[in-house]
Amino acid sequence: MLADTRPKLTIIEESLVKRYQSLLGLSFLSLSMMACEPNAPAEQTSQTEAVPAPVASISDGNITAERVLDADAEPGSWLAHGRTYGEQRYSPLNKIGKHNVNDLGLAWSFDVEEQKGLEASPIVVDGVMYTTTSWSAVYALDAKTGKQLWHYDPKVPKEYLRYLCCSPANRGVAVWKGKVYVGTINGHLVALDAKTGEVVWDVETTPGAPYSITGAPRVIKDKVIIGNGGAEMGVRGFITAYDVETGEQQWRFYTVPGNPANGFENPALEMAAKTWSGQWWKLGGGGTAWDSMAYDPELDLLYVGVGNGSPWNRNIRSPEGGDNLFLSSIVAVRPDTGEYVWHYQTTPADNFDYTATQHMILADIEMDGLKRKVIMQAPKNGFFYVLDRTNGEFLSAKPYVQVTWATHVDQETGRPVEDKSVTEFTERTQMVWPAPYGGHNWHPMAFNPNTGLVYIPAIEVPHFFNGRKEMDKKRIWNVGMNWVKPEETAETVLMNKKLTSGKMIAWDPAKQKAAWEVTYPTPGIGGMLTTAGDLVFHGVPQGKLMAYDASSGQQLWESYTQTGVVAPPISYEIDGEQYIAVMAGWGGMFSLTGGTVFGKDEGPGPNRVLVYKLGGKHQLPAAKALIKEAPKPPAQTGTPEQIAQGGALYDEFCQFCHGLHAVSGGVIPDLRHMDEQTHQSFIGIVYGGMLKDKGMAAFNDHLNVEEVQALHAYVIQRAIDTYGDERLF
Ligand code: CA
């Protein structure tokens, strides 16, 4: 079924939308979503609720193995990243149900200091919420009132931003026996005192740049486990376990083999090396485990989602072919030792950035009359997988979005059957579905054991691939691909023609088909929560949180959030009241490159924790208008050759943060809107690092002054081409 998610527009707004539309050549729908936000109607009445007294004492954060293993005995807590080790993101709470969800209102909100997007799943235990924001900061809040208990800022070097593919996001903490664990963008794992937020220990988990951490640690059997990212920049992936008390390293599992001349760390990597060719270790190999983990305590298996190849281009990475284990795989290891047990590779010989780092769910479901212990994943490659989690046996896989790189997954071998007419794209351009964004990315799914359905925040976006013959060592984002000219790219041409969309798919894993789905005008919808109240909650980039009937897909409730919501909601209960909480803050990959889709200007609403309850009367301050005057760009003094050179350099170095074609996705400043002073300082900023403490690193190790001048000419031209004399923004 389709839900009409279009907001109601006033006549004035419609005229503005039409002007933007004619200026930018974008579709009505996506722009109308944008334009409605500043004037969204208030959800609640004007009454202000009396603020209850803060909790008397701060929680010890005393989460233990016993408590997590018996999480259903305290359904009012959210003790682990996906609530339980099986990561179902299902809350057994049912006081909020289909009959009364329409009475949900804000109980409280909390404005965080950091403003680059929120992706975290909070942990809630004994009345305290522990959560993270961008720049790896941590908050402890009274979960009933929103009162701040402490704030930890690791003061990460902000210029590190250039090593992150997709914003300085963080997806949450782990809490265990009085300590709170956070991974930082510059590769540290920090243990904080749960009562005070003071640092207990701090270890550097990587060799440094370009490794990064955005994922949430998990704690299993007194070991805190963390992976890392960086496969777009040439690294070798691994996960590491540390002692929860001391931070001492317990084990490390590399996800791809290193140089055979140095010997292999374990027999699994010796086996994996047989699936590689050439001198892959010189390029890193990739396979970063940057997000998903799950744990089965009965089988004592830790499941790790492994990322894409580094570089993406397999002809460069492993020129004589091979599957390149354990890229794009689910790997099961022993949590005590990191010893390999089994693996299943979703995309052999990954050539497309098809990570298998997407959320994994453990469940026991009936398939063909048999109750199976399964692990389920919708990785980037577009197929929904159901595996036997005891041994990694392939059970089934079917496409949940449009897929063109493979025709199907062979039921006998469990291997995808590639369509070579699509996947051989070296030195020619080929449209492939899904894009490197994936059919599904990090935004978590949820599984409701009552409906038997998995709710997937899905992405329908293609990409134009064009493989290089060899690496260009000058690059930072270095994946062995050419960036295709603007007029040929999927992101600009197809998205604007509305051939792409976002979807919530209610997927029946036993039947391997959608029970129902809701289609949205843009991709980028947020992570999922499902509850025993037969509800599904999730947010959208257009600044709303909604609730649906988990059985039928009927929309039941929505709330304006004043900023895009990508993080997954959670639920908890205090003093008999059920709460729905979400980290609201537009961010992540679409907020960087996707400005051409979303049309967002910078400053799309403050980043906040929003917490709802039945009858909640708290009101947000009035939303800030997005529309503002853009300064007039300076006169173009660059030559056409310089502008063209600058455009090519922009695509190599700038677009991953500042957006395709210099259109910001709303989080990083839009370069078309620079003021006079910024224009005058352009070389000092880009070459000299004047704004490195705000996240804009110096690029003098990759660009010379003439190249920076060419970049400047290109950016000025983009401002002139976009706005001319209208200067509406
Ligand atoms: Ca990647």
Per-residue confidence at 723, pLDDT binned at 50, 70, 90? Answer: confident
592 versus 71: the higher-pLDDT residue is 71
State the sign of the Cα–Cα–Cα–Cα dihedral 564, 569, 572, 578: positive
CA of residue 307 to ligand 1 center, whole Å:
7
Q: Output b/e per residue, 251-279; b: 16+ Cβ within 10 A.
A: bebbbbbbeeeeebebebbeebbebbeee
Amino acid at 222: D
Residue 462 has a pLDDT of 87
Superfamily of segment(s) 640-722 = Cytochrome c-like domain (1.10.760.10)
Predicted confidence (pLDDT) at residue 266 exceeds the cutoff of 70:
yes
Dist. CA 406 → ligand 1 center (Å): 19
163 backbone dihedrals φ, ψ, rounded to 5°: -95, 5
Locate 555 and state its tokens. Answer: 């929309």
List the alpha helices (DSSP H) in 289-431. 314-317, 420-423
Query: Do residues 694 and 156 touch, judged by C-beta distance below 8 A?
Result: no
> CA end-to-end span of the chain, whole Å?
36
Q: Tell me how long the chain is.
A: 729
Q: What is the mean pLDDT of residues 464-493?
A: 77
* Dist CA 97 CA 76 (whole Å): 15
Per-residue confidence (pLDDT) for residue 436, from 0 to 100: 94
Exactly one of 126, 142, 350, 353 is catalytic; name it.
Answer: 353
Q: Is the pLDDT of residue 647 over 70?
A: yes
**Short-list 81, 124, 180, 216, CA closest to 580:** 124
Look at residue 463 in the predicted model and tell me its pLDDT.
Answer: 87
Predicted confidence (pLDDT) per residue in 560-571, tens digit? 999 999 999 999
Distance, in Å, from the CA atom of 346 to the CA atom of 405, rounded to the nearest integer, reads: 13
Tell me whether domains 1-212+525-618 and 640-722 share a fold: no
Q: What are phi and psi of 45, to 5 degrees?
A: -75, 175
Higher pLDDT, 252 or 43: 252
β-partners of residue 417 are 408
Q: What is the DSSP string of 31-68?
A: HHHHHHGGGPPPSS-S--PPPPPPPSS-------HHHH
Distance (Å, whole) CA 554 – CA 562: 23
C-alpha to C-alpha distance for 37 and 563, rounded to whole angstroms: 8
Does 53 score more than 80 pLDDT? no
Q: Coil, helix or strand for 641?
A: helix
- Angle formed by the axes of helices 640-653 and 705-723, nearest 10°: 100
Q: Is the preceding peptide bond at 210 cis, omega within 30 degrees of 0?
A: yes
Could you tell me if 355 and 438 are in contact, meaning their C-beta atoms sit under 8 angstroms apart? yes
The reported pTM is: 0.89
Q: Is the pLDDT of residue 233 over 60?
A: yes
Whether the Cβ atoms of residue 349 and residue 318 lie closer than 8 Å to each other: yes
* Higher pLDDT pick, 129 / 603: 129
| Alpha carbons within 13 A on the beta-carbon side of 551 | 7
Lookup: tokens for 509: 């894993």
Looking up tokens 């270790």, which residue turns up? 281
Measured between alpha carbons, how far is 15 from 436 in angstroms, rounded to an integer? 36
Using the mean position of ligand 1's atoms as its centre, give its distance from the Cα of residue 653 in Å.
16
Distance 353 CA to ligand 1 centre (A): 5
Q: For residue 720, which phi and psi values (nearest 5 degrees)?
A: -65, -45
Q: Ligand 1 centroid vs 160 CA: distance in angstroms?
A: 17
- What pLDDT score was predicted for residue 491? 55
Residue with tokens 């301050």: 621
Chain segment 499-558, per-residue pLDDT in tens? 688 999 999 999 999 999 999 988 899 999 999 999 999 999 888 999 999 999 999 999
Amino acid 492: pLDDT: 56
Per residue in 284-313, pLDDT (tens digit) is 999 999 999 999 999 999 999 999 999 999
Task: Map residue 264 onto helix, strand or coil.
Answer: coil
Q: Residue 410: pLDDT band by 50, 70, 90 thresholds?
A: very high
| Mean pLDDT (whole number) for 207-225 | 97
**pLDDT score for 514:** 98
- CA dist 559 and 577 (Å) reads 19
Q: How confident is the model at residue 424 (pLDDT cuts 50, 70, 90)?
A: very high
| CA distances from residue 34 to 21, 117, 350, 544 in whole angstroms, order as listed | 11, 17, 36, 12
d(CA 456, CA 440): 7
What order of strands is seen across the sheet that includes strand 301-305? Answer: 293-296, 301-305, 329-333, 340-345
d(C-alpha 574, C-alpha 555), whole Å: 27
Interatomic CA distance for residues 461 and 494, integer angstroms: 8
Q: What is the pLDDT of residue 123?
A: 98
In DSSP terms, 371 is beta-bridged to 366
Q: Which two tokens stand for residue 24?
A: 């930018």
Q: Is the pLDDT of residue 483 over 50?
A: yes
Whether 458 contacts 440, CB under 8 Å: yes
| 587 vs 723, higher pLDDT | 587
Give the CATH fold of the 1-212+525-618 domain.
Methanol Dehydrogenase; Chain A (2.140.10)
Supply the pLDDT for residue 597: 64
Compute, in angstroms, the gap from residue 355 CA to the centroid of ligand 1: 6
Cα-to-centroid distance, 476 and ligand 1 (Å): 14
| DSSP labels, 96-143 | S-TTTGGGEEEEEEEE-S--S------EEETTEEEEE-GGG-EEEEET
Worst-scoring range by mean pLDDT, 165-169, 320-324, 456-460? 165-169
Sort strands 544-549 and 555-560 into parallel, antiparallel or unpaired. antiparallel
Ligand 1 centre to CA of 624 (Å) is 34
Counting residues of the chain whose pLDDT is more than 90, the rounded percentage is 73
Residue 701 designated active-site:
no
How, if at all, do strands 570-574 and 383-388 pair? unpaired
> In 370-500, which ranges are continuous DSSP H helix?
420-423, 495-496
Distance 442 CA to ligand 1 centre (A): 11
Domain ranges of the chain: 1-212+525-618, 640-722
- How confident is the model at residue 486, as a pLDDT? 54
Distance (angstroms) between ligand 1 centre and the Cα of 639 equals 36
The answer to whether 506 and 548 have CB atoms below 8 angstroms apart is no
Q: Say how far apart CA 695 and CA 702 lie, in whole Å.
A: 17
The mean-pLDDT minimum among 362-366, 430-434, 657-661 falls in 657-661
Check the CA dihedral 452-458-462-465 and report its sign.
Answer: negative
Q: Sheet containing 90-91: give its strands across.
A: 90-91, 528-531, 535-540, 544-549, 555-560
- pLDDT tier, 487 (very low <50, low <70, confident <90, very high otherwise): low
Q: Give the range among 34-48, 345-359, 709-723 with minimum mean pLDDT.
A: 34-48
